[in-house]
Structure formats: C-alpha cells, structure tokens
Amino acid sequence: MDLNIIWFVLVGVLLTGYAILDGFDLGVGALHLFAKGDKERRILLNSIGPVWDGNEVWLVTGGGALFAAFPHVYASVFSAFYDAFMLLLLVLIFRAISIEFRSKYPSPKWRKNWDIAFSVSSYLIALLAGVALGNIVVGVPLDKNHELHTSVLDLITPYTVLVGITTVALFMMHGAIYLLMKTEGEIQARIRVWVQNSMIFFIMCYVSLSMITLLYVPHMAEKLRQQPLFFLVALINMLAVANIPREITKNRPTNAFISSSVNILCLMGLFAIGLFPNIVPATDPANSLTIYNAASSTKTLNIMLIFALLGVPVVLAYTISIYWIYRGKVKLDEMSY
Amino acid sequence: MDVEILARIQFAFTVAFHYIYPPMSIGLGIVLVIMEAMYLRTKQRMYKHITKFWVKIFALTFAVGVATGIVMEFEFGTNWATYSRYVGDVFGSPLAAEGIFAFFLESGFLAILVFGWNKVGPRTHFISTVMVALGATLSSVWIVVANSWMQTPAGYHIVGEGLKARAEITDFWAVVFNPSSMQRLTHVILGAWLTGAFVVISISAYYLKKKLHEEFAIRSMKIGLVVAFVAMGLQFISGHSSGNGVAKNQPEKLAAFEGHFQENAPADLYLFGWVDSENQKTKGIAVPKMLSFLVHGSTDAPIKGLKSFPKEDLPPVQSSFQFYHLMLVCAFLMTLICIAAGWLWFRGKLWTNKTMLNILTLSVILPHIANQAGWFAAEVGRQPWIVYKMLRTSEALSKSVTANQVLSSLIMFGLVYLLLFVLFLFLLNEKVKAGPFAKADTSEEYRDTGEDVAPWVNKITRERVETTNGQ
C-alpha cells in the first residue's frame, strides 16, 4: 500500500472518529429543546459536558491532517465553499459558547437563549456537514487549477439537502441512544420515545437516500459491484441499522449505541470507497483532486505517519480512560453545568 | 477595498481576538499546576479552594479560546488558498501535530480538571492539571514553530515552476528548529506566563482592595507574583536574544522596529518616537548608539538601515516602530510594577496598600497589550512577505474568493466577537463577584471541612492579616 492510500484512510479515520463521537453530542444538541425544564436540560448537557470538546478535536485534527497530507484539497474546498465554511465557523463558535456559557449565569432568560443557540447550531452543523458531503458525492465544477467560486445557494440541490437531512436524522438517533445509556428514571422513559421517533426518521432517510444514490449517483456504487469485499461493508451497514431497533426492544442501549457507531463507520466507509481514488471529484474528471495530484510529498506523508503512529495510540488510550471515568448515568453535582 | 487588504484585516482581527485567550490559558495552566502542587504538599484545604476558583477562570478563558481557535485553522484554506497550496507540504504538519499532540491532551484532561474533583483521586486530578497545562504549552510550541518558519524558513526546497511551484520539506528538524523558532517560542511562553500571573494578581488585588476573601487573595497573589517575577526576569534575556535574532535573520524588520534609516551607521535605541518616512528620519528620545551596542556589543558597530534595502521589500515602518515600542513600554511598566510590588511585599505592606492594589488590579491590561503589540510588530515587520523572502502576501490569496465575501465574513466576525467579548467580561465579572466560596461550591464537600475552612471565610480579621505579614 502506498502512503497516499494510507493517508486517505487516516484522514477518513479522523473524520469518522469525529462523526461517531461529535455525532452523538450534536444529536444531543438537536434533541435539547425537546427536554423540559432546567433540570432535564442540565442532565442532557452534562451527559456530553466532559467529552464534547475532546470530540470536536477530531474535526480540528482532521482539518490539520487534511492540510498537511492533501494541501490542495484543503485549499480548494475551503476557498471554493467560502460562504458555507464561514457559516459553519459561526455555528461552531455559537455552539461551543452556548454549552460553556449557559450554566454560568442563573437567569431563566439567559439559559433559554443559550438553549436555543445550542440546539439550532447543533442542527446546522449536522446539516452543513451533510450538504458538504452531498456536494462531494455528486462532484463539484472545479476548473483546471482546482479553483471554484460558489455561494451557499449553489451548494443546495435536492440531493445534497437529502444528505444533509439524513445526517441530522443519523446524529439525532445516535444522540438519543447515547442519552438512553446515560440517563435513568422518568427522563429515560421520555428519551425512549425520542429514540423510537428518531429511528423511524433515520430509517426513512436512509432508505430513500440509498435508493436515490443508486439511481442518480451510480458511480458511488460502482466499486461495490467490482469488488465483492466492499459489498460486505454495505451488508454490515444494513445489519447494523436493523440491529438498532432490536437492541432497543431488548433494552440494551449500549449494544444499540455500538450498532449505531458501526452504522456511521460503514456509511463513512461506503462514502470513502465510492470516492476513491478521488478526494474531490470534479464535474470534468480531468480536474478532480485525487489522492495523488492533491497530496504532499512522500517525505511529508512519512513524517506525518510517524506522528500518527506515535500520537494516535496515546490519544486513544487516554480518551478511552476519560470515557471510562465518566461511565454510568449522569449525576448532577456542584461541578456540573 | 481589495481582497488583499480585507483578508489581511480579517486574519489580523480574528487572530488578535483569539490571542486574548491562549496566553491566559497557558499562563493560568502553569499557575494551576503550582497551586494544586501546594495543595498536595501542604494538604491545606485553602489551596484546594484556590485551585478550584482559578480552574473556573481557566475554563472560561479556555472556552472562548477554543471557539475562536477553530476559525484560525480554517482561515488558511478559506482566505489564503494559494499560500496553503504553496507551503502546505511544510506548514501543514505542525498544525496536524498540534491536533494530535496538544489539543487532544488539553481537551481530554480538561474534562477531569473541571468536572473530575469527585471522580478521581487527588493525584490523578493533579496529573490531569499537569496534562492540560502541558497541552496548552505544546499547542503554542507547534503554532510558534509554524509561524517562525514563515519568518525564517528553513529545511525546504522549491519544486516546480510558475503556478505549480511549491515548497517541499527536506529536513523536518530544520523546519522545527528554524533560526528563530526557539527564541520566539521562549518569548511567547514567557509572555503567556506573565499574562496568567497578572490575571491572578489583578483579581486578587481587587479582593484585597475590597477586603474580601483576604487569605485566599493573599495566597493567590503570592503565587501570581512569584510567577510574574520569574517570567519578567527571564523575559529580559529572551527579549534580548529575540532582538538579536531579528537583527541577524530579518535586518529589514530590525531597522523598521528602530526607525533606523542610515545605510551603514551605528543605530540609536529609541524610547519613543515618530517616524518621518518622507524625510527618512525618526524623531524622538533615543539612547545614542545603544542598538549597536545591544546587537554587536560595540557602540560603533554599523547596523544596516532601511535605505540599504529595496523599497518593495520594506515593511510599513511607522506601524512596526510603534507596535514594537508599545510592547517595550508595557514591559517597562510591568517591570516597575513587579519591583514595587516585590518591595512592598518584602516590607509586609503590599496587602493593605490601596494605591498599589489599585495599580495591580488594572495591571492585567499590560501583558495583554504587550502580547498584541509584540505580535503585530512581528507580523507587520515581516511584510510584504507572507513567508519571508519566499512568497509575497499579495500572491498568497484565495483566487476564487471575492472582496464582498471577505467583507461579509469580516463584518460577521466583528459582530460575533464583540458579543463574545462582552459576554466574556460579563461572566468573568460574575465569577469574580461570586468569589471563591460561591454557593455552587459550598455543597457537601464544603460542609464537612467546616473546621479548617471556616476561619478563612468568615472570621478573618485585619489583625490576622497583618500578623501573617509580620512574620
């Protein structure tokens, strides 16, 4: 395997880590306004409180890795989608601030405003991420220097919006299942209803997106036909999705959460398989950014691989320890939000 | 206005606003490590309360730092795409390293630092505090390495021609240890320590002035002052070596800092002044030939002046000069304050001296101005280059981004950051007003320690403070 492929996979791993980890806390954000009263909302916030920031670092590191490994992708995508990225930055700022600021002042009005900011920004981040993925899937009209000028409206087509909504549904379901693990009693009973509803919402989106992708963006499925091994990913994906309602019925939220994480992993995997060896397919295939024409030198990819081999195991070790320390149901104490 | 100037304003504004927060996090990180170490050593509850209070201040600054920091990582791609293509092979790795080696550490252990007091034992908690401080410091390491590479590029070669040209890495360690990185890193970290120390000093002085939480404030301030003394002392050595580094590596920048025009003449050291670019003269109060002495150890040594360089390679002289001197003025004032506070402390009068406490309360602004002015001097002084002698700022922009787009996002950042700043000050004020023994902290844990905490909180008297000082 060459270094370019390794880095395609590693950037994918970072972004998948982001989708699985920040995915649940974005989902909790999307569900936040359904919770009633300050105490319930505090339970929701505190279920993600100690970990959300670390989860977002997966995105930051993914961005850094993309810059270092595939500078042309970083440069082309970020400048081509300028307005969309500025909007994304705006909601990322508001989300971070609303989580941290909400609890720091005991006024109902103050808290209500931050609740809205937290929830709306969580929806928008998921939606924007989905719309961005949707645009990459269909391909973007890059010129021969890999440049492109767009406004937000150019990015919105029925297909990209459907990917966006599916992402929202996916994270809502993922977040609801996470909350089921982290809560107990009365609130858990209410969250169970959210899980049911968001599962239905997601499965509807999932089925329609799969069909529309097969019909209108057939190149995404081409490799599945060529290589049966890849078809296995699609199969595991379907099984993971089907397993979620089963585990919920059997009252095993942890297993349901694992299934939901496997689902995200497979979706990202299918996305990566469909793109490969492109990273950003252009409308004119000659202008596409691939893992070769967009990459840094072998020397840089090597150095970065050493970074990854040194850093990632350590990061995983202490991230898992921290999750372990915060295992179990949320209990509010004087340090809580 | 054209895209170039708008993009520059946007970057300067977003990074300057961001840089209000990281120096506080880095500096407070070190202070927290000292505080918690004192708690573990002495087992006195008071130090736990001290640590917990400053953790809250830390968490507040950290939150805004994180929120505004993401913008920086995206902005290279959005506004400086050509730069990103040109140097990504070299410049991207430190940013990725920052994520892997610093941000994960910082944000992961922050969970334990802030929320983990009842979840883990005191030692594990202390280790987490150390890890957060280390993470904050490491992030500055990678960022300053990346920026220093823009000032004094090394360890690369240029591959390809015309539109396809780009810098590729040849020697990673030469990139990391480029000629200016270690000097500048030391300077930045000491600046951050000063900032953290002065935050502690300022809030503690405010409490003492208001006769609130006095034992808490005195102990906090002692720690803050010691850190400030050490950082200030070291900063003189670091500042001197940074200056010499600029003299050697970026002579145009040094000439601009001191408004030195003459081609090969000994240079003066200005205390303050005004650059008259038209007549190529600088007016102000200066120590004659002192710059030559500082750089070369001899008052007669010539220093290359602005006239020796091609005009198109010169930075804006006036603003470089003024930012640089503003930083020096702040350093001078901070030194005076440190000496005065040290003297009063030694005499046992610091804790009750109203004038000094007033000065100390306001003093937190000085390290902030010094940080900002120092960075502006460094970055304006590098112009017209984005990477010194390699790529001009005007050639580094995103080709597909229009002036209107940059202007809209600039306005957006302006409004959002204004709101953030107001909210930050409001919440900081709330935290300070609520004090270290705020209600939220007085639950079970507080009650069962009644005996050794209560005297500090309620019964402390002036006499007691004074006897403590007398010892």
**pLDDT tens digit sequence for A49-73:** 889 988 999 999 999 999 999 999 9
Task: Tell me if A128 is assigned to some domain.
Answer: yes
Q: Are residues B133 and B40 in the same domain?
A: yes
Range of the domain at A300: 3-325
pLDDT at B471: 37
Q: Are residues B234 and B304 in the same domain?
A: yes
The domain tally of chain B equals: 3
A243 to chain B, minimum CA–CA distance in Å? 31
- From the list B82, B111, B440, the residue facing A50 with the nearest CB is B111
pLDDT at A1: 66
Q: Are residues B411 and B459 in the same domain?
A: no
Interface membership of A115 toward B (CB under 8 Å):
no
Instruction: Compute the distance between CA of residue A185 and CA of residue B238 in angstroms, rounded to an integer.
Output: 59
Burial class (CB in 10 A: 0-12, 13-18, 19+), B462: exposed
Task: Tell me if B362 is assigned to some domain.
Answer: yes
Q: Are residues B421 and B446 in the same domain?
A: no
Task: Tell me if B329 is assigned to some domain.
Answer: yes
Q: Which of residues 187-246 of A touch B (CB under 8 A)?
A: none
Peptide bond connecting A218 to the previous residue in cis, omega within 30 degrees of 0: no
- From the list B74, B119, B402, the residue facing A325 with the nearest CB is B119
Task: Tell me if B117 is assigned to some domain.
Answer: yes
Task: Tell me if B446 is assigned to some domain.
Answer: yes
In sequence order, what are the beta bridge partners of B159?
Answer: B166
Q: Are residues B23 and B170 in the same domain?
A: yes
pLDDT at B220: 93
Question: Which pLDDT band, with edges at 50, 70 and 90, does A75 fall under?
Answer: very high
Do residue A89 and residue B401 have CB atoms under 8 angstroms apart? no
Nearest to B3 by CA among B397, B413, B315: B397
Mapping DSSP onto H, E and C, the string for chain B reads CCHHHHHHHHHHHHHHHHCCCHHHHHHHHHHHHHHHHHHHHHCCHHHHHHHHHHHHHHHHHHHHHHHHHHHHHHHHHHHCHHHHHHHHHHHHHHHHHHHHHHHHHHHHHHHHHHHCCCCCCHHHHHHHHHHHHHHHHHHHHHHHHHHHHHHCCCCEEEECCHHHCEEEECCHHHHHCCCCHHHHHHHHHHHHHHHHHHHHHHHHHHHHHCCCCHHHHHHHHHHHHHHHHHHHHHHHHHHHHHHHHHHHHCHHHHHHHCCCCCCEECCCEEEEEEEECCCCEEEEEEECCHHHHHHHCCCCCCEECHHHCCHHHCCCHHHHHHHHHHHHHHHHHHHHHHHHHHHHHHHCCHHHCHHHHHHHHHCCHHHHHHHHHHHHHHHHCCCCEEECCCEEHHHCCCCCCCHHHHHHHHHHHHHHHHHHHHHHHHHHHHHHHHCCCCHHHCCHHHHCCHHHHHHHHHHCCHHHHHHHHHC
- With beta carbons under 8 A apart, name residues in chain B contacting A308: 100
pLDDT at B455: 36
Task: Tell me if A336 is assigned to some domain.
Answer: no
A334 to chain B, minimum CA–CA distance in Å? 5
- With beta carbons under 8 A apart, name residues in chain A contacting B169: 297, 299-300, 303
pLDDT at A154: 84
Task: Tell me if B71 is assigned to some domain.
Answer: yes
Q: Are residues B69 and B157 in the same domain?
A: yes
Q: Are residues B166 and B36 in the same domain?
A: yes
A24 to chain B, minimum CA–CA distance in Å? 17
Q: What is the chain A residue with the closest CA to B109?
A: A322
Q: Are residues B275 and B399 in the same domain?
A: no
Q: Give the position of tokens 């490799």.
A: A223
- With beta carbons under 8 A apart, name residues in chain B contacting A51: 111
Look at A149-158, A189-198, B9-18, B432-441 and tell me which has the smallest mean pLDDT: B432-441
Task: Tell me if A335 is assigned to some domain.
Answer: no
Q: Are residues B170 and B266 in the same domain?
A: no
Range of the domain at B458: 440-471
Q: Are residues B196 and B164 in the same domain?
A: no
Do residue B100 and residue A312 have CB atoms under 8 angstroms apart? yes
pLDDT at B118: 86
Do residue A307 and residue B398 have CB atoms under 8 angstroms apart? no
**pLDDT tens digit sequence for A279-336:** 999 888 888 999 999 999 999 999 999 999 999 999 999 999 988 988 888 888 777 7
List, run by run, the mean pLDDT of 10-residue segments along chain B (471 residues): 91 95 96 94 90 92 91 92 92 90 91 88 93 94 95 92 86 93 95 96 93 90 94 93 90 89 83 83 84 84 86 91 93 93 90 91 95 95 92 89 91 94 93 80 35 36 42 37
Q: Are residues B361 and B411 in the same domain?
A: no
A103 to chain B, minimum CA–CA distance in Å? 10
Q: Are residues B164 and B223 in the same domain?
A: no
Do residues B94 and A307 touch, judged by C-beta distance below 8 A? no
A166 to chain B, minimum CA–CA distance in Å? 25
- From the list A49, A62, A296, the residue facing B88 with the nearest CB is A296
Instruction: Compute the distance between CA of residue A32 and CA of residue A260 in angstroms, rounded to an integer.
Output: 20
Do residue B100 and residue A61 have CB atoms under 8 angstroms apart? yes
pLDDT at B182: 94
Task: Tell me if B389 is assigned to some domain.
Answer: no
Q: Which of residues 135-194 of A touch B (CB under 8 A)?
A: 145, 147-149
**pLDDT tens digit sequence for A236-250:** 999 999 999 999 999
The domain tally of chain A equals: 1
